[in-house]
Amino acid sequence: MQYETIIKCGTLVALFAGSLTLADPAAAQGGFLETPQTAVARANLSPATIQSFMPQRGSFTFPAPYGTDAVRLTNAADCAGKDCVNYAGYSYWRNMNNHVGMPSMLVFVGLDRSRGGAGPSLFEMNKSTGAIANLGPLFANDNALSWETGEGWYFSATRPTTLYLNQGPRIQRLDVITGQLQTVADITTQLGSGYLLKQIHSSDNDRVHSATVRDGTSYRNLGCMAYEEDTARYHFYPVLADFDECQVDRSGEWLVIKANLDGLNGEDNLIINLRTGVQRVLRDRDGAAGHSDLGHGYMVAADNWAADANTWKLWDFNQPTLIGRKVYHNTDWNVAAPDHVSHTNAQAGVATDQQYACGSGVNTRTGPHANEIICFMLNGTESTLVVAPAMASLTASGGDDEYARYAKGNLDVTGRYFFWTSNLGGARLDAFIVSVPAQKLTGTVTPAPTPVPTPVPTPVPTPVPTPAPTPSPTPLPPVAVALVPSNEVMPDALLWHTTRNLAVTANSISKTSGCNGCADAGAVSLQRVASGDAALEFTVASASPLMSVGFTLAQTLPAPKALVVSLWFQNGIAEVREKSVYRADITYKKGDRFGIRIEGGKVKYTRNGTVFYTSTRAVSYPLYAGTIHNNTGATLQNLVLAIDGAPALANLAGQAGKSGEIIVTWTTDLPAQSLLQFGGTSLYGTSTPLVPTLSKAHRAVVSGVAPGSKVHLRAIVQDTAGQFSSSADLLATSPL
């Protein structure tokens, strides 16, 4: 959703303008690098020092040696002067939305109503100026959700306005702008009534979800649930021992269950591949995760059995042997640093050696990184970026209890912003965001892309040989014949270069084979948009399809990320996605007609002829229409690709030739090659030889037509730029 202004709670919140501070990754200042050997203990900042640079709200810069830019989101005015800010949940739940390509960021903060707050609330941070706006509570006072702490709620990795909530036996999605609440999964459909969910998680592609299942009366943990939304498939793993929690990884393929499986030492890990069902066990003594966060097929986890203090390791689930690689440690056993680590910036398709995680620590004593926010590479070099002081005290009163005083925090999807809560050594907790100068750690200033589903490999199609030209038949005396449009196909109908696992007719394509729920069916057009304007239109002909339609830059079967501009359909929602990055959405029903129009360099998305989103994305050429069908039965009808500058057909006429012949003539406004498709149905199946000579006048002959037969005909032309056009499907009866 491209929100330049947001209307929330009756107030128009306009975005600000100003000089760059937090917006440009290259502008991120401060921070410094250390290794385990060079790290030193720095004293925690005193409350007086903190107050010397801390504003009531908005941007500030940390003093030396840090020098990083940050913002203060909350203050006493948000809590009626009380201590109402709830701590930042856990390191694997995002408080910040997917703001990529947008001028502002949305931030979710729990303002406890029982302690003077307005309930779970939404804040907005202008990335250029650091200006903060409190957009108000997400729920009205008469809504029971307004009393929730918001712990365990998190923003989607891809959908900018989607916040996940755990509500009793359900996982729900809330649109924080419209207030629309959607149930994603309900454990009662699997186990019946009397159960509750907690500690929910979602894959970065919003397709797979997990949660701890509890008894609704005793609240005892009973096991782990995973739900595959595409196929409505539930998994339930009953508790086998002392159960702690479970979490699906960011790819949606792996599930990690933390429990004391052998009754020895501490927590073990049961690692399950949800796709294959294969299970593996990582014992506590071998480095099983306690505190951890997951990436795409791996986890970053604390190893309390390691020889070095505060060791964090990376565990790759795809390796045949589970052996952790050390990615961080320090030299002081007397502090916990960092306490928690966030890898909510994990990127699909990027080597772990090029990625990093961030964490925070709060301790009553000093030590290397004991009271700081740090980031470290996952490549084993143990290079550590010191970002900022945590500014928290475990002995100060702010924060309700000691657990709340730990400066737990999380990264946004780009890894350029870290959110955390701190009591500033005083009597109340507040929320902050610091700009992470990650370029000092990674050597690049390029922001991380939004996580997207891993593309499903597709074979490169074999080129179809062009038929050899044959001499034109001798003209016969013309006899006027009416060619009747069958309405099976509209003008400019899509012609398919390659299809996979689809049933194709002249007016529809539908998935008929392959894996139900997998991105293993699709098509790419024969037509090519070489330049200029074009319009792709189609009708959604199935009630709840999971499929994507749009334009791709290559004439091969597309993967999701290859659709540079597209519409994704599922569960009554059509999402605008560009290279898989969410931009906007709109509801739809079976029979609605959608369009993707390229006009004057802008892309417009329409439903039933009305534009509902206009992108500023600059398009590249050439473009081909492409589709991806996940669900069996996902169907599109009346597909049209109108290309500005492509040759236009006119003056179609039929003539009777010698016995069993039908002669068709037509004209084009531009010189073009031509052929005629024909057959007993609108699938055609046969065509006349290609006439390679460029001409504005065209002629084709169908022979061997039995008397009384009905013949479907379609004229095809191609200009020098490779742009195709077609006629409507025409119906003729022999003899003419």
How high is the mean pLDDT in each 10-residue block of the chain (736 residues)?
36 30 62 93 93 96 96 96 93 95 93 96 94 95 94 95 95 93 93 93 96 93 92 85 91 94 85 90 89 95 91 93 92 90 94 95 92 95 94 90 88 96 94 95 57 33 35 32 43 76 82 84 87 92 88 89 92 89 90 93 93 89 92 90 84 79 89 85 74 88 82 84 76 72
Q: What is the pLDDT at residue 714?
A: 84
Q: What is the pLDDT at residue 407?
A: 86
Q: What is the pLDDT at residue 448?
A: 39
The count of other CB atoms within 10 Å of the CB of residue 412 is 27
Q: Evaluate the omega torsion of the peptide bond into residue 622 and state whether it is cis, within 30 degrees of 0.
A: yes
Q: What is the pLDDT at residue 59?
A: 95
**SS3 of residue 282 by DSSP:** strand
**643: which 2 tokens?**
């290309």
Calpha distance 734→274 (Å, rounded): 58
Q: Which residues pair with 461 in a beta bridge?
A: none
Q: What is the pLDDT at residue 716?
A: 86
The angle formed by the CA atoms of residues 417, 419 and 423, to the nearest 5 degrees, is 145
CB 716 within 8 A of CB 675: yes
**Of 571, 534, 597, 458, whose CA–CA distance to 723 is shortest?**
534
Residue with tokens 């005015």: 77
Q: Which amino acid is at 296?
A: H
The count of other CB atoms within 10 Å of the CB of residue 394 is 15
**SS3 of residue 69 by DSSP:** strand
Calpha distance 668→226 (Å, rounded): 57
Q: What is the pLDDT at residue 320?
A: 84
Calpha distance 19→28 (Å, rounded): 13
**Of 541, 537, 495, whose CA–CA distance to 675 is shortest?**
495
Q: What is the pLDDT at residue 134?
A: 95
Q: What is the pLDDT at residue 659?
A: 75
From residue 633, alpha-carbon distances to 231, 615, 629 in Å are: 13, 30, 9
The count of other CB atoms within 10 Å of the CB of residue 262 is 12
Sheet of 547-552, strand order: 496-500, 521-525, 624-629, 547-552, 563-570, 573-578, 581-587
Q: What is the pLDDT at residue 539?
A: 95
Residue 702 has, within 13 A of its CA and on its CB side, a CA count of 31
Q: What is the pLDDT at residue 736?
A: 54
Calpha distance 315→288 (Å, rounded): 9
Q: Give every CB contact of residue 632 below 8 A, 6+ residues apart in sequence.
A: 511, 512, 513, 514, 516
The count of other CB atoms within 10 Å of the CB of residue 494 is 28
